[in-house]
Amino acid sequence: MITIKSEKEIQAIQEGGKILADIIEEVARKVRPGITTNYLNKVARDLVLKSGAKPSFENYMGFPATLCTSVNEVIVHGVPGGLALKEGDIISLDLGILYKGYHTDMAITVPVGKTAPEAARLIKVARESLEKGIKEANPGKKFSDIGKAIQKYVEGEGFGVVRELCGHGIGKKLHEDPQILNYLTKGEGGEIIKEGMVFCIEPMITIGDWHVKKAKDNLAYETADRSLAAHFEHTIAITRVGRQVLTEREQN
């Protein structure tokens, strides 16, 4: 069942979203060759607690950290550790926070130093595919329109769209209905987008084949062919004035 949020609830989620966006930006600034994913996790955790929020991911379904750090072929749920980043790597930073009783969720993929042209293009297309999906998030449209737009753009650019993982509703729970697919499939995603809905759009795309497998730690997902993957995510609300991206930084 898709929960409908009040204006007051959406305002609280938006407050958390702006905090989250600032934290992600600060963590991304720390990405460079030689630092470890554990270090990035510590930076994220310290910033979350300093903001008055709580980490959403810690101990969620067994995940042991604040920040998901997914490097190269790891798509999502990469567990921070002693891995030192290398020049040319790419890393997805995925973070959720709980603020005033509501979750927000956001992800970006960034290069580590100078990366290969195809890896840079993968990141660009992943980011733009999220923008394509967000443009479809309007009252009266269907959630399947989001997946259709993402798939058309990504595959048109020659990349693969991950099928086994998807976006989701969000609010008092980290994962709520509906599931929001990043591709079009007959008979699914036909729900109408309505005012008061809050959800996360998060395309995950690959340079190679789109099939995935569980990592050895049984938490992360990686590409089955070990090709590079990129992941972007925003939390979106549907309000009386249309869609709002809640995990955007304040514009100066």
Confidence (pLDDT) at 185: 78
Confidence (pLDDT) at 252: 39
Confidence (pLDDT) at 190: 77
Which residues touch 47 (CB under 8 Å, ≥6 apart)?
A: 23, 26, 27
Going residue by residue through the chain, which has 252 residues, state the pLDDT in tens, using 9 for 90 and above.
Answer: 999 999 999 999 999 999 999 999 999 999 999 999 999 999 999 999 999 999 999 999 999 999 999 999 999 999 999 989 999 999 999 999 999 999 999 999 999 999 999 999 999 999 999 999 999 999 999 999 999 999 999 999 999 999 999 999 999 999 999 999 999 977 655 799 999 999 999 999 999 999 999 999 999 999 999 999 999 999 999 999 899 999 998 643
Note if the bond before 117 is cis, omega within 30 degrees. Answer: no
Buried b (16+ CB within 10 A) or exposed e, 48-73: beeeebebbbeeeeebebbbbbbbbb
Whole-structure pTM value: 0.96
How many CA atoms lie within 13 Å of 105's alpha carbon, on the beta-carbon side? 24
How many CA atoms lie within 13 Å of 69's alpha carbon, on the beta-carbon side? 28
Spatial distance between the Cα atoms of 62 and 180, rounded to a whole number of angstroms? 23
Q: Does domain 7-240 have CATH number 3.90.230.10?
A: yes
Per DSSP, 3 falls in state P
Q: Is 18 left (phi over 0), alpha (psi -120 to 50) or beta?
A: alpha
The residue extents of the domains of the chain are 7-240
The answer to whether 106 touches 14, Cβ cutoff 8 Å, is no
Measured CA distances, 197 to 30, 66, 185 (Å): 34, 26, 22
